[in-house]
Chain A
Amino acid sequence: MKRAARLSLLVLVAGALLGLPATAQTFRVVTFGDSVTYAIPFDLGGGSCSASSPDTCGHTGRLASSYNCKSGDCSFTNRGRSGEMTAQGLTRLDGVLREKNWDLMVLMEGTNDLADVSAQTALFNLNAMADKAESRGVGVARASIIQFNPSVTRAQTGALNSAAKSLRNLIAGRASADKQCFVDSWAKLCNGAAPGAGCFVSNYWTPAPPAVDFVGHPNSRGYDILGREFHRVLGSRGAPGAVELSGPEEDAEVCGTDALVSWSRETVAGARCGNSFRIQISSPNGTRLDRWFFEGETCGRSGCSTISPVSLKKGNHSVRIQTRNTAGYGPWSAETAFSVVPTAPKQIQALRGPEGAFYSQGGLSTEFKWKPDPEAISYRLEIRSGSKTIFDESLTDLECSDTECAYDLGQSLETGRYTWRVMAENVCGGTWSRAALFEVFDSPPATAPAAVGPVQRVFDNTPIFRWKTVPGADSYELEDAFGGSVRLAAADVCQGDTCRRLSAALAPGLHTWRVRAANPLGDGAWSSTMTFEVVDCDCFEGKAAGGASFLLAVPENWNRELVIWAHASNEFGVLEIPDFSRLAQRQFDQGYALGTTSYSVAGWPTFRSKKDLEKVFTVFSSRYGRPKSVYLAGESAGALVAAQALENAKLGNVVGALAMCGPLAGKVNWEGALDLRLAYDAVCAEAAGAEIPGGAKGLPNAHGLAPGDIAAAVDFCTGLAKDKNRRSAAERRRLKDLLSITGLSEGGLQDAMRLATFGMVDLVRDKKKLKGKVPIGNVGVDYGDPEVNATIARVTPESKAENKLEDASELDGKIGDAKVLSLHTSKDPVFFVENLSDYSELVPEESFLLGVVKEPRASHCGFSEVEELAAWKVLTGWTETGNKPNKKALQKRCVKSRPEAPGACRFDNRPKVGGMDERVRGRG
């Protein structure tokens, strides 16, 4: 049969097999490849191929004929380029894809690579081309390259054909994985035929000598064979039918802006090639999505689905799907209407009660109230008493006013401590509010307040009376030293767990005071009566421009030396009157003048403490004369204040410093706090009542939380306050995880959480510090637990904040001739004892002495008075003699000093302290 007649028959048969596309859209196919695709001049004279019209040549022309595209329902375009490598095709393809909205690309390239490029790289490039096409909605059919012609080139072609076969196998594998059609040109054109076999003479271009086809191209007969194979694979069935949408369901509310669309695939099964689905999502404002998706990327055994790659806005939408395959376009599916709910309602911030203390004989009957959220379709309310859930229901029928929701529990709550929280819900779920704490009392306060101070001697004639809060007290009665009695509202004088009351000016001499708690149901018992002495001294109080107050005291027998005391940070605001240390009385008696100051910023003090201390020294010098020498002493954050001032403050002749329980390693202490804070969120995420808002920033702005709230949350998560045997399995697991991740002990967890919440929020959010920028991060930190690693929030530090914190917290060890004695408790949970090791690497060995107090239970700064006194004596002895004390000097001096001060002597004579890198997880 002659070729022309054969082709005509093929067209007739194909036309009969093919159904017309279901729509009038033109199905556009582009063939992309090298000279085998281009086919000129190899296919000339063998049929309809015209040198001026590549679309009529090669397998491109055969496909056009087979699909009978004369009706305009389909088109086949030849974009072969002779001599092209895949590395070039990758770039040329960009322009071809921009030409038209192709429906299908038939890709056959790679032959020109194989002498110099590995089959693996050729496949890489072909895959990149397929990705480019599919990303523009163009389906991809792949073809292997044909064999090189071994009848012409034997030895080299054997090697090239070996590579070509490798590439053929790689392409076939990838096409299968990506559910793309695969045309095996390799196998169809003389597969396995021996070199020189007649197959080649028949199917390959064999020009007359001297022209030689060194490579091997199909001739017209070869293209007939290829064309039939391409057509067989691309498909001869009719266009696909409509798919049935299975999701979203009609009128469904869909959570999130990336809706999941799912559909059946049965209607296109059997179509050979280019099965794809056009998903169109519209809203009243227009079309949101109109894109082709491919079977390979959307369909599995059970059906097809994809998540909308464009973000959908809140409101009503509709979705429909059109099908497509090689035979053309199918109809649209039925349209499904749905509405998008972008997010869950926000966390309710405004809980309007109950909160705080309630005094009622016979139980509390009250409504639970909060501010409504317009996004909510219901509210879930939970009330707990300890670990017992009193109420937990979704209130679907609750009617709220515009300004308030209120729910009447319908029962009285008995005496006890309760938490409650509420969640605004919609289809996306919701977020619990913070847990509000309230306590019901049916009697006067049961305990007497613990009086803290003043006791013994004070240098300030307006001391601050301080006592610990009593549960259930709404007021206190203070009977003070001048004989008066005053009733004080707890809200006015109490913050955290401590109440304060500034005294009126007192005369030198002995004074007494006591305090008792009260509530509407009556008064509690008086505290023990405290006695103190206002020292008759040359004292001076003042306030600096920055807001810090200072206090100076000079004894009659002044030895011309000054001790400047740096107190711990005060997380609840700037102190009105700073306190001296517990050593102050003894130092004063020894002839030392005293100076101290509050800090002009609350919380982490070192951002401005240098100026605060310099002010003390300046005022002291101008008033009393420049001291011949100066000692610095500080505890907790105050130890860092002292150590920092030793390096960079202008304080005269500083000869020594006593740094107690300080974060001398600087910023790394905050890394530990961040790890705890975020690990808490990860570990306690599922524990009811345990949520602490704020994440890496510690707490939210204006959080309204008290230390007791944090402690309660920790208890909810870990059962920490319970006897070990009464903790639930979940509480034990969470506690174990938390301690394992952070290296903390049970006894230190609450103190450490206080730093990680109240300390952190002050550091990060204070406008005088980091202004809301997080200075530390945990990206890449390995927490030793795959689940925690996967779920913990990852935070990237902001470089400016990081630098600012470093400037404010890092030491350089340049201390001149001064001596430093640094004291720490062995289990300090807030600032680890390992701070000492890091600091010791900065300062000269001959100028540094460390003292570690071995303690049975974790404490922050839990030194005995005699231990502090011994440290002071060792330091002053060292500065006076110049002889560095040995390791046992502290314990020896402590034992000798016992008659002078109370407490135990627990100094470790051979302290071994690791580095902070052993306690805080590395940042890489």
Chain B
Amino acid sequence: MTPRKRALALSTFLAIASLGAGPVSAQLVLEREADGVRLWRSATASERMPLASTQRPHAAVEAEDGQIVAGTNDATGELFFLHRTDGAIHELPVPSSRTGNLRTGPVLVTADERLDGVLWLEGSNQQDFAIRAATWNGTSWERSELVSPSRGRPQLALSATVLSDGSWLAVWAGFDGHDDEIYWTRRIDGDWSRPERIHRGNRVPDILPSVVAHGDRASVAWSFYDGNDYRIRTAVFDGSAWQLAGALEGRGAVDAGWQQLGDRVFVTYHSVELEGWSLVEVDEFGTIVYTTAAGGEVADRPLVVAPGAGRPRLVFPTTGRERR
């Protein structure tokens, strides 16, 4: 799941400035601090990880043996991976065979609470980014794989997840010559399928996708332009094809991101109309199970709290407030 940078946000320069990050598996929210990053796992529990001034974090996951943060080192254009375990921080190696000036936008994928691999964008700018991936064997990265070659058109906003059969599912926004569309591909037994659009080609932008596994199925959410505003749309992957669902409430909606608690999945997103965040719980068929919203809440991405089968709540780690 893809965290996003809010480059010119005022909060970037305050102590609580957050990346506005998309959530990662096992529910972590990144919050940038002046010389590091804080990883929130609940409204009150967080871990802090110091960073060098050139390290720009982009994704984090909670694994069984600690937390892993991935990002880009601005000085070198290379990825970095920091593993915090037992209070110590270790830097992991980077995938080999770098071909571009810049590796950016890393997305970590986990399976059974273990790091399974990483996908990233590689190239010199948004016009020529290719999408690459590498699997983690427990101690090092395997040979990097080409997920989608450079097309001379933007490929951005990468997001990925692992299905119950171990296959990877990746989605991103790609420019098709007229507007951005949502593309997907699947890695089965080491082979990536040919990237295809999730939806039929249209003439309006589809941007900022985020995907989450739901057993052997998956859900994706993204922002699309409805003729006046951006709204969130979802689609469900049934193992072979995508089924589109309707638009969710809220105009000016962006930053859709999934959070998973047990076998329940939730999508949270920000909408200008609400001036805050919405939470929608969906089942594996994409059916909306529950919705709530935190209007007027200006804090960065909230965490979802859902005890057992109870009603989910939104909590805002940076403010401590909680909304049903």
Contact between B56 and A91, CB atoms less than 8 A apart = no
Contact between B7 and A112, CB atoms less than 8 A apart = yes
Q: A120-B179, A210-B35 are in contact. Are A34 and B223 (CB under 8 A)?
A: no
Which of B72-80, B161-169, B260-268, B276-284 participates in binding chain A? B72-80
Nearest CB in chain A to that of B33: its residue: A210
Contact between B125 and A116, CB atoms less than 8 A apart = no
Residues in A with CB closer than 8 Å to B225 are 87, 90, 124-125, 128
In the assembled complex, B28 has its CB within 8 A of some CB on chain A: no
In the assembled complex, B11 has its CB within 8 A of some CB on chain A: yes
Q: How many Å from the CB of A656 to the closest CB on chain B?
A: 53
Q: A91-B252, A116-B173, A118-B126 are in contact. Are A83 and B77 (CB under 8 A)?
A: no
In the assembled complex, B295 has its CB within 8 A of some CB on chain A: no
Q: How far is the CA of A217 from the CA of B8 in the complex (A)?
A: 8
Residues in B with CB closer than 8 Å to A85 are 6, 254
In the assembled complex, B257 has its CB within 8 A of some CB on chain A: no
Q: How large is the interface on A (under 10, 10 to 19, 20 to 34, 35 or more residues)?
A: 35 or more
Q: A118-B126, A153-B74, A215-B8 are in contact. Are A124 and B205 (CB under 8 A)?
A: yes
Nearest CB in chain A to that of B77: its residue: A155
In the assembled complex, A400 has its CB within 8 A of some CB on chain B: no
Contact between B180 and A118, CB atoms less than 8 A apart = yes
Q: A157-B74, A159-B104, A162-B126 are in contact. Are A115 and B252 (CB under 8 A)?
A: no
Contact between B7 and A155, CB atoms less than 8 A apart = no
Contact between A117 and B180, CB atoms less than 8 A apart = yes
In the assembled complex, A702 has its CB within 8 A of some CB on chain B: no
In the assembled complex, A92 has its CB within 8 A of some CB on chain B: yes
Contact between A115 and B7, CB atoms less than 8 A apart = yes
Contact between A90 and B126, CB atoms less than 8 A apart = no
Contact between B74 and A155, CB atoms less than 8 A apart = yes
Nearest CB in chain B to that of A155: its residue: B77
Residues in A with CB closer than 8 Å to B20 are 83
Q: How far is the CA of A40 from the CA of B179 in the complex (A)?
A: 33
Q: How far is the CA of A118 from the CA of B2 in the complex (A)?
A: 16
Residues in B with CB closer than 8 Å to A90 are 225, 228-230, 252
In the assembled complex, B5 has its CB within 8 A of some CB on chain A: yes
Q: How many Å from the CB of B177 to the closest CB on chain A?
A: 9
Q: How many Å from the CB of A95 to the closest CB on chain B?
A: 9
A210 touches which one: B34, B75, B153, B180 (CB < 8 A)? Answer: B34
Contact between A119 and B154, CB atoms less than 8 A apart = yes
B10 touches which one: A38, A154, A159 (CB < 8 A)? Answer: A38
Nearest CB in chain B to that of A35: its residue: B8
In the assembled complex, A36 has its CB within 8 A of some CB on chain B: yes
Interface 1/0s, chain B 65-103, versus A by CB < 8 A?
Answer: 000000011111100000000000000000000000110
Interface 1/0s, chain A 86-126, versus B by CB < 8 A?
Answer: 01101110100000000000000001101111111100110
A156 touches which one: B4, B104, B179, B254 (CB < 8 A)? Answer: B104
Residues in B with CB closer than 8 Å to A213 are 13
Residues in B with CB closer than 8 Å to A117 are 156-157, 173, 180, 205, 207-208
Q: How far is the CA of A214 from the CA of B74 in the complex (A)?
A: 11
Contact between B125 and A163, CB atoms less than 8 A apart = yes
Q: How far is the CA of A210 from the CA of B12 in the complex (A)?
A: 12
Residues in A with CB closer than 8 Å to B230 are 87-88, 90-91
Nearest CB in chain A to that of B250: its residue: A91
In the assembled complex, B42 has its CB within 8 A of some CB on chain A: no
Residues in A with CB closer than 8 Å to B252 are 87-88, 90-92
B76 touches which one: A40, A155, A157, A162 (CB < 8 A)? Answer: A155
Residues in A with CB closer than 8 Å to B46 are none
Contact between B180 and A159, CB atoms less than 8 A apart = no
Q: How far is the CA of A128 from the CA of B205 in the complex (A)?
A: 12
In the assembled complex, A211 has its CB within 8 A of some CB on chain B: yes
Interface 1/0s, chain A 389-411, versus B by CB < 8 A?
Answer: 00000000000000000000000
Interface residues of B in 166-185 (CB under 8 A from A): 173, 175, 179-180
Q: A115-B5, A156-B104 are in contact. Are A87 and B273 (CB under 8 A)?
A: no
Contact between B8 and A116, CB atoms less than 8 A apart = no
Interface residues of A in 178-219 (CB under 8 A from B): 207, 209-215, 217
Residues in A with CB closer than 8 Å to B34 are 209-212
Residues in A with CB closer than 8 Å to B223 are 87
Q: A121-B179, A153-B56, A212-B53 are in contact. Are A82 and B126 (CB under 8 A)?
A: no
Contact between A156 and B175, CB atoms less than 8 A apart = no
A162 touches which one: B73, B125, B271 (CB < 8 A)? Answer: B125
Q: How many Å from the CB of A906 to the closest CB on chain B?
A: 55
Interface residues of B in 22-61 (CB under 8 A from A): 34-35, 53-54, 56
In the assembled complex, A316 has its CB within 8 A of some CB on chain B: no
Contact between B156 and A214, CB atoms less than 8 A apart = no
Q: How many Å from the CB of B180 to the closest CB on chain A?
A: 5
Q: How far is the CA of A910 from the CA of B175 in the complex (A)?
A: 59
Q: How many Å from the CB of B297 to the closest CB on chain A?
A: 15
Residues in A with CB closer than 8 Å to B2 are 116
Residues in A with CB closer than 8 Å to B254 are 85, 87-88
In the assembled complex, B272 has its CB within 8 A of some CB on chain A: yes
Interface centre among A88, A116, A209, A213 (most CB of B within 10 A): A116
Q: A91-B272, A154-B75, A155-B72 are in contact. Are A118 and B175 (CB under 8 A)?
A: yes
Interface 1/0s, chain B 196-226, versus A by CB < 8 A?
Answer: 0000000011011000000000000001010
In the assembled complex, B127 has its CB within 8 A of some CB on chain A: yes
Residues in B with CB closer than 8 Å to A207 are 13
Residues in A with CB closer than 8 Å to B153 are 118
B4 touches which one: A82, A115, A125 (CB < 8 A)? Answer: A115
Q: How many Å from the CB of A143 to the closest CB on chain B?
A: 14
Residues in B with CB closer than 8 Å to A166 are 126-127
A158 touches which one: B54, B105, B125, B208 (CB < 8 A)? Answer: B125
Nearest CB in chain A to that of B252: its residue: A91
Residues in A with CB closer than 8 Å to B173 are 116-118
Residues in B with CB closer than 8 Å to A88 are 230, 252, 254, 270, 272
Residues in A with CB closer than 8 Å to B124 are 158-159, 162
A121 touches which one: B4, B9, B12, B175 (CB < 8 A)? Answer: B175
Residues in B with CB closer than 8 Å to A148 are 7
Interface 1/0s, chain A 577-619, versus B by CB < 8 A?
Answer: 0000000000000000000000000000000000000000000
Residues in B with CB closer than 8 Å to A116 are 2, 4-5, 105, 156-157, 173, 207-208
Interface residues of B in 230-261 (CB under 8 A from A): 230, 251-252, 254
Q: How many Å from the CB of B139 to the closest CB on chain A?
A: 27
Q: How far is the CA of A213 from the CA of B13 in the complex (A)?
A: 7
Interface 1/0s, chain B 101-127, versus A by CB < 8 A?
Answer: 110110000000000000000011111
Q: How many Å from the CB of A517 to the closest CB on chain B?
A: 70
Q: How many Å from the CB of A477 to the closest CB on chain B?
A: 76
Contact between A158 and B101, CB atoms less than 8 A apart = yes
Q: How many Å from the CB of A82 to the closest CB on chain B?
A: 4
Nearest CB in chain A to that of B209: its residue: A116
Q: How far is the CA of A112 from the CA of B272 in the complex (A)?
A: 15
Interface 1/0s, chain A 833-849, versus B by CB < 8 A?
Answer: 00000000000000000
B102 touches which one: A35, A92, A159 (CB < 8 A)? Answer: A159
Q: How many Å from the CB of A14 to the closest CB on chain B?
A: 28
Q: How far is the CA of A166 from the CA of B5 in the complex (A)?
A: 20
Contact between A91 and B251, CB atoms less than 8 A apart = yes
Q: A83-B20, A92-B272, A155-B102 are in contact. Are A36 and B8 (CB under 8 A)?
A: yes
Given A114-B7, A117-B180, A162-B124, 6 other A-B contacts at CB below 8 A?
Answer: A35-B9, A41-B13, A82-B10, A91-B251, A121-B180, A160-B7
Q: List 16 A-B contacts (CB under 8 A).
A: A35-B10, A41-B13, A88-B272, A90-B228, A118-B180, A119-B154, A121-B175, A153-B54, A155-B72, A155-B74, A162-B125, A162-B127, A166-B127, A207-B13, A215-B8, A215-B12
Q: Which residues of A contact B (CB under 8 A)?
A: 34-36, 38, 40-41, 82-83, 85, 87-88, 90-92, 94, 111-112, 114-121, 124-125, 128, 148, 152-160, 162-163, 166, 207, 209-215, 217
7 smallest A-B Cβ distances: which pairs?
A: A91-B252, A83-B9, A155-B77, A162-B125, A82-B10, A210-B34, A118-B154
